[in-house]
Amino acid sequence: MCAETHIAVVLVGFNSRDYLADCLSSLHRADWRGYSRAVIYVDNASSDGSVAMVRQRWPAVRVIENASNAGFSNACNQGAAACDSQYIYLLNVDTVVFRDSIWRLAKFLDETPAAAAAGNRLLNGDLTEQWSARRFPNWRNGIFGRRSWLGRNLPNCRPVRDYLYKDQLQTGEPFTVDWIPGSCTLIRREPFVQVGGLPEGLHYWSDAVFCDRIRKAGWEIFIVPAARLIHLEGDGTGGKSAKLRRWLIADFHKGAYRFYCEHYNLGPYHPARWMAKVGLGMRASLLVAMDTVRHARSN
């Protein structure tokens, strides 16, 4: 169980061999500054040779090979349970770490007892900002979200800057946030176990639910801007079929609904719960219809 290990790096993959290879190569090049580590790769029934590649090129990596796709959160929990380390580093396979990406997070947690978790500063492949944290959703950032039309076309308006902590990120100093994306989270094992790990049954929004539970348990969550990391966002699973795209749209809205109800503690008969269900359902149906039309025109 590698009980004396400082950091367990948990990777989850599904048909993402090339991204996985680049990620593992960057982990091999990283400067660990004396922190001991174990790398655990959980494979969700890939058919592209990912498992064979890892075993051949990185024999020190522990491989957990699932017979079927267990889902991201379930697989992360599997990996975290495989090593009783001090810290757990949840890392997407479509990432490339810099030499100082990990030890800076570990050092920050060592020095900040109130912090349950710390996230990297996310960069796109061209090293532009990807924006590394979010506030919990409300009606304003629902309209001015990072991927919304207004968010993309008015990136410097106050609601967008506030939602994505843009001003705080530019200071370069660590700061507290509501939630961080699950693509690169270093977390103490104690709060991870305390909240039961990542919420299973979710793909999108699992990280927001996870961070919400951690904060409600009395812990803080930080971004450490000096700890940069490249995230090739959304590329780790390769091309997406029409069926998968529509499933992702549905799952995004399912996760948003689950987060909203849990965050605001809405009982089964609360009017806001039903309004959210209807509104999110209508939005998901509209996006599925738009996706169908868009791809029909392109074919």
11: tokens are 């990777």
Given this model, what pLDDT does residue 8 score?
98
CATH superfamily of 7-134+177-231: Spore Coat Polysaccharide Biosynthesis Protein SpsA; Chain A (3.90.550.10)
User: Per-residue pLDDT for 142 more than 80?
Assistant: no
Given this model, what pLDDT does residue 62 score?
97
Given this model, what pLDDT does residue 286 score?
86
Given this model, what pLDDT does residue 244 score?
82
pLDDT band at 251 (very low <50, low <70, confident <90, very high): confident
pLDDT band at 141 (very low <50, low <70, confident <90, very high): low
Question: How do residues 51-69 score in pLDDT, each as one tens digit?
Answer: 999 999 999 999 999 999 9
Question: How do residues 267-287 score in pLDDT, each as one tens digit?
Answer: 988 998 988 889 888 888 888
Taking CA atoms, 138 is separated from 21, 141, 144, 147, 205, in Å, by: 38, 6, 10, 15, 14
pTM score of the predicted model: 0.90
204: tokens are 């999108």
Chain mean pLDDT for the chain: 89
User: Per-residue pLDDT for 149 more than 60?
Assistant: no
276: tokens are 């959210």
Cβ-proximal residues to 56 (8 Å cutoff; 6+ apart), any chain: none
User: Per-residue pLDDT for 119 more than 90?
Assistant: yes
38: buried, middle or exposed (CB in 10 Å: 19+, 13-18, 0-12)? buried
User: Per-residue pLDDT for 87 more than 60?
Assistant: yes
- Pick the residue with more confidence: 140 or 211? 211
pLDDT band at 22 (very low <50, low <70, confident <90, very high): very high
Q: Give the pLDDT mean for 151-173.
A: 81
25: tokens are 């190569």
Given this model, what pLDDT does residue 35 score?
98
CA distance 43 to 33: 28
Residue spans of alpha helices (H) in 176-270: 189-194, 206-216, 242-263
Domain ranges within the chain, ordered by starting residue: 7-134+177-231, 137-170, 242-292
Given this model, what pLDDT does residue 151 score?
54
Given this model, what pLDDT does residue 158 score?
79
| Cβ(184)–Cβ(156) below 8 Å | no
Q: Give the pLDDT mean for 104-108.
A: 98
| Cβ(1)–Cβ(80) below 8 Å | no
Identity at 14, one-letter amino acid code: F
Closest CA to 277 of 297, 256, 257: 257
User: Per-residue pLDDT for 239 more than 70?
Assistant: no
- Pick the residue with more confidence: 229 or 3? 229
User: Per-residue pLDDT for 44 more than 60?
Assistant: yes
Q: Give the pLDDT mean for 69-92.
A: 96
Q: Which residues pair with 43 in a beta bridge?
A: 13, 65
Given this model, what pLDDT does residue 161 score?
85
Given this model, what pLDDT does residue 188 score?
98
User: Per-residue pLDDT for 157 more than 70?
Assistant: yes
CA distance 194 to 37: 22
Given this model, what pLDDT does residue 1 score?
64
Work out the percent of the chain whose per-residue pLDDT is above 70: 89
CA distance 268 to 197: 25
User: Per-residue pLDDT for 288 more than 80?
Assistant: yes
